[in-house]
Amino acid sequence: MIRFGPAGFGMPPLEGLRHTKELGLTAAEVEFTYGIRMNNKTAEQVGIQAKKLGIALSVHAPYYINLATQDKKKLANSYRNILQSCERAHFMRANPVVFHAAFYGKLEKEECYQLVKQRILELKDEIKKRGFKVQLAPETTGKQTQFGSFEEIMQLVRETKCSFCVDFAHLYARNLGKLDYDQLFKQLKKFKHIHAHFSGIEYTEKGEKRHVPLKKTFFLPLAKALLKYKPDITIINESPDIYGDAVKMKKWLEELKK
């Protein structure tokens, strides 16, 4: 199955879910990117509504996360942000919990990787202890200063058994306009389900600059790969028009099928 949905709602969550359903979309990502402003009771209500409407939920944890930091306070805050996101996701029955894992800073890439790996393993232990039924999904990132190349994320999946989020637009920007969908999907075909993000994107020589409205010509290479490889995939739209561009992706894919 291929699901499309918005990143966030732009309105109260229960209203946003109804709007998502009315548009014929079947997924949504609850955005905690600027802070976790939802209690467990509301999270539970959101989860019940989503199940009724047949909408698959995921969660995006706050941006303020760096699992490679040497600063104890920043690391504690990163752990708190991830674990609180997992708690809300658990009550919502949402999966996975997506997050940007780290910045390289002054670390060598391998040193950064080992820190992220160690801390994801610690977080997984804590999630298990607390009984949260969620998976951690570090995301591929769009800036070359950020940890999160496709190779790094896939290595984390192998070595920690975490989940993942492939942001195709981020990879396009990170690789300065080069993206081989055949190569990506050949590596992704072993997974039962792929959680993904997509949007239009602007980039500079340093990688991602900003998300922009989606153009059909930018989406078509991904659409062709979806029809060729037929993955079970959820694609969350992160463009400025969260609903409109998700609807367009669904429509363009259906047109291409015909």
> pLDDT tens digits, residue range 23-32?
999 999 999 9
> pLDDT tens digits, residue range 213-239?
999 999 999 999 999 999 999 999 999
Bridge partners, residue 208, by sequence = 203
Q: Are 86 and 135 in contact (CB under 8 A)?
A: no
Report pTM.
Answer: 0.96
Q: Where are the beta strands (DSSP E) in the chain?
A: 2-6, 27-31, 56-60, 97-99, 102-103, 136-138, 146-147, 166-167, 194-198, 200-204, 207-212, 233-237
Pairwise CA distance, residues 58 & 31, whole Å: 9
Q: Which domains does the chain have, with CATH numbers?
A: 2-257 (3.20.20.150)
